[in-house]
Structure 1
């Protein structure tokens, strides 16, 4: 049996713990918070920080993690940490504590830890590229599109610190697991990546046994043809291993509250500072061209496929509005064409957001009769209804908005929607909102 050589990554997480705990404890003495017993406060925040970090998986950051993922963890960690700080005042009955100084302390902690985390993460990436440290030698077993993509990533993303050594084609006449294992031992390979689709159960069992006995890291590349999801959740029910097909971040109460708070703040801002004056102005302009109400509502399917009325500014002449709008649609008025082109017609949906029917960002809701058609034609279409629909979404800012001209349009839209559902973060929501505003200002070809 072999042992792991030169493996010091195990010290990175404890080091980050020590650095962060040192920061939040030292900063206590910098601010005039009027604490009676700073030692008690230090013990309190240390324990709570550790518990919170374990709950939020704050230090579960890997070499392939992007900084956007790290930043999302920071936001989540410090939102709860803020509550923990102010809870101390009530729990330990210290009314003399300066709330302003506590707020300054909180901001200092957030900025210090965020900056240091960014610096350290970049330092490790540069360390791998420039000095060749903290590297992992890897092999790939299997020859298909997925393995080729993975090998390309290993070669291009030097900051990940993976050194690709060899690919083993299972279908080669001279391939044997014995020769593969000998290569792993002789070249001191750290990690093996196996394509599940190309290996039999017996071969997989031998690979697992070999890796266990030789302390090698084993990872699998799933065969996900025609499967848009990529997130699997592994749990145990007593001693029985259970693999969940999909894990949705918004099922987490903290994530849900964070997103709902973001929705409420943004929708109130739009309603008070934009719709309050825009609505009467548009009403006057609409009446000059086409008599009728300023709003129209349409039945759409939302969370858990429940129906709700979606609000929009009226952009067509009153009458048949149940057909999907097409390019140069005769029903669209001149002012309607403008508000559709700039996406202004969608703004009343912030009323839906405030009511809780919709979210600012999420899969775009379709008309009920269109959904009934898409369900029959598009695999995984119903997954979009695991979360609230949105005014804008990842699919829309990625070029898949407007009219569904062919089946591939809706298939691509579903792919992006599922990716969003499984990879949600508040940072991703903010990015999508910013891109939506930019696209609205520039104008989009499919906005008609």
Structure 2
């Protein structure tokens, strides 16, 4: 339930917001038509309204409803966003209208919409709070290091059940016998795997090496870390803050794609791009390539292999089959002049056309257009023991292409230096993602495919 809610709520919230705005526009149009015989509005106005509103709301972070976001934030943002909307429509829509009351119609829409949207957004806040009070959509959390501040924070978790924080207790070396203290700090690493943790709160007063060890563990297990500050925090990562009642904590391993609207933008880009490829390319490529594969060797058209995706969840990755069926496909990488590779397979691999069916993986949500390349499960099991922070590449969906690939890291992984370089580039991408970076990588991928095929075999 925790993951499913997190996945679908952002889309439902944005869709609901747009539907309520459209309702406000329709009600205003009916009232103006009834009382002053205002002309019927066309669909273009709906398009202007919804597009501008979406851009404004995203830009002003109106859709940010975190666990600690108070309803006052939404109510404050709403009228300001509507003023921005009125300004844009006054520039782009009012001058095109022949009716002299066009500006008053917009004001009417704003007045009615502020009521409708206000009720909707407050309702969403209250519904979320009640949902969490009932013990749903919760996050499991522990606190490392017991102090006056961390003890008060634990009381906030208990009193504000609407935050949805299921506090499991403390780990502390100096006070490991009190109520809610599960044990000493070393015991945390022994028990953590059984706690299904989502959040780790750690006192800044603890030893810096211990804090780093916790952060490395959390990155490996996809757990969010929040530091309870004492004013002397010195960390290399970008920091953001969360407020729990009167207490501030510092988020130390957030990434851009933790933001709801960033995920929406990336998913919209993925769906539009993959739909275009599926309709206009794969619709004829799959039958054509399928005939050639079947003509050269017996076996299926597709090679389907289980790989690790986001949060290490297993998915079935699609490729055109480029080898004769063999028992080593999951454990042995393709090498130069590999005898398992068929003639048509060699062409597909050199041009990376064997990866094209993965646009279907993107469409159904297992992959993204851009992201860290998914490796086989045996490779992941090996590399995570040999490469520091290897598992952090699974914080986001795997991609058909990625920053490492456009930097020349394609094809066979010959040594640890290469995989370390890939992980470093994947980590940079994850920490610094923007939609423009995705577009840039897509363009550079096409250039790379045309001018550099040496590593693909």
Normalised by the length of structure 2, the TM-score is 0.50
- Correspondent of 1:328 among 332, 337, 349: 337
- Superposed, 1:417-436 pairs within 5 Å as 417-436=426-445
Cα drift, residue 282 of structure 1: 1.2
Indicate if the aligned counterparts of 2:52 and 2:85 stay in contact, CA closer than 8 A.
Answer: no
Aligned pair partner of 1:301 in 290, 296, 308: 308
Count residues in correspondence. Answer: 255
Deviations 1:222-260 (A, max 9, x none): 676xxxxx4333445556553322221112111111111
In structure 2, the CA distance between the partners of 1:86 and 1:234, relative to structure 1 (3 Å rule), is closer
Q: Of 380, 386, 405, which residue of structure 2 is paired with 1:377?
A: 386
Q: How far apart are 1:337 and its partner, in Å? A: 0.9
- Tell me if 1:401 matches 2:379: no
**8 Å contact kept, 2:243–2:249:** yes
Give the 3 Å change call, closer, same or farther, for CA 368–238 of structure 1 in structure 2: same
Asked if 1:283 is matched to 2:287, the reply is: no
Deviations 1:182-208 (A, max 9, x none): xxxxxxxxxxxxxxxxxx9xxxxxxxx
- Tell me if the contact between 1:341 and 1:443 (Cα under 8 Å) persists in the aligned partners: no
Aligned partner of 2:366 in structure 1 is 357
| Contact preservation (8 Å) 2:58, 2:261 | no
- Tell me the distance in 2 between the aligned counterparts of 1:280 and 1:374: 37
Residue number in structure 2 paired with 1:250: 257
Once the 2 structures are TM-superposed, how far is the Cα of residue 413 of structure 1 from its aligned partner? 0.7
C-alpha separation in 2, matches of 1:395 and 1:97: 55
* Cα offset, 1:284, TM superposition: 2.1
1:389 and 1:48 map into 2 onto residues whose CA distance is: 28
Structure 1 contact 233–246 (Cα < 8 Å) conserved: no
1:367 is matched with 376
Structure 2 Cα separation of the partners of residues 327 and 318 of structure 1: 18
Tell me by how many angstroms 1:221 deviates: 12
Equivalent of residue 316 in structure 1, options 319, 323, 326: 323
**Structure 1's 277 and 414: CA in aligned 2 closer, same or farther, altered over 3 A?**
same
Residue from 332, 341, 356 that aligns with 1:347: 356
Provide the C-alpha distance between the structure 2 equivalents of 1:436 and 1:356, rounded to a whole number of angstroms. 21
Of residues 268, 271, 275, the one that matches 2:275 is 268
Instruction: Output the CA distance in 1 between the equivalents of 2:418 and 2:251.
Output: 29
- Deviation above 2 Å: which 4+ runs of structure 1? 45-56, 83-89, 220-224, 230-245
Do the aligned partners of residues 97 and 48 (structure 1) sit closer, same or farther apart at CA in structure 2, a change above 3 Å counting? farther
Structure 2 residue 450 is matched with structure 1 residue 444: no
In 2, Cα distance between equivalents of 1:339 and 1:49: 41
| Per-residue deviation, 1:289 | 2.0
- Residue 55 of structure 1 corresponds to which residue in structure 2? 61
Q: SS of 2:315's equivalent? A: strand
Residues 112-127 of structure 1 aligned to structure 2 (within 5 Å): none
| CA contact 2:53–2:85 (8 Å) conserved in 1 | no
SS at match of 2:380: helix
Assess, with a 3 A threshold, how the Cα gap between structure 1 residues 242 and 340 changes in structure 2: closer, same or farther. Answer: same
Structure 1 pair 404–234 and aligned structure 2 pair: CA distance change class (3 A): same
1: CA distance, partners of 2:404 / 2:234: 25
Distance change >3 Å, CA 266–CA 53, structure 1 → 2: closer
Counterpart-to-counterpart distance in 1, 2:52 and 2:323:
60
Local SS of the residue matching 2:412: coil
Gap runs ≥5 in structure 2: 1-38, 42-50, 63-80, 91-96, 104-207, 209-231
Residues 131-146 of structure 1 mapped to structure 2, 5 A cutoff: none
For residues 97 and 445 of structure 1, what CA distance do their matches in structure 2 show? 63
How many Å apart are 1:86 and its aligned residue? 13
Q: Report Cα offsets for 1:272-313 as digits up to 9, x if no partner.
A: 111111112112222332122111100000011100100000
Offset of 1:444 from its aligned partner? Answer: 2.3
Instruction: Write out per-residue CA displacement over residues 374-410 of structure 1, whole angstroms, 9 at most, x where no aligned residue.
Output: 1111111111111111111111111112211111111
8 Å Cα contact 1:35/1:97 also seen in 2: no
CA gap 1:334/1:49 in 2 versus in 1, 3 angstroms: closer
Shift of 1:263: 0.7
Structure 1 stretch 287-296 or stretch 375-384: which is displaced more?
287-296
Distance change >3 Å, CA 86–CA 438, structure 1 → 2:
farther
SS of the residue aligned with 1:447?
coil
1:384–1:48 CA distance, 2 compared to 1 (3 A): closer
The residue matched to 1:434 in structure 2 has which SS?
helix
Given the superposition, is the C-alpha separation of residues 302 and 86 from structure 1 closer, same or farther in structure 2, using an over 3 Å criterion?
A: farther
Gaps of 5+ in 1: 1-33, 37-44, 57-79, 90-95, 103-199, 201-219, 225-229
Is the 8 Å Cα contact of residues 308 and 377 (structure 2) preserved in structure 1? yes
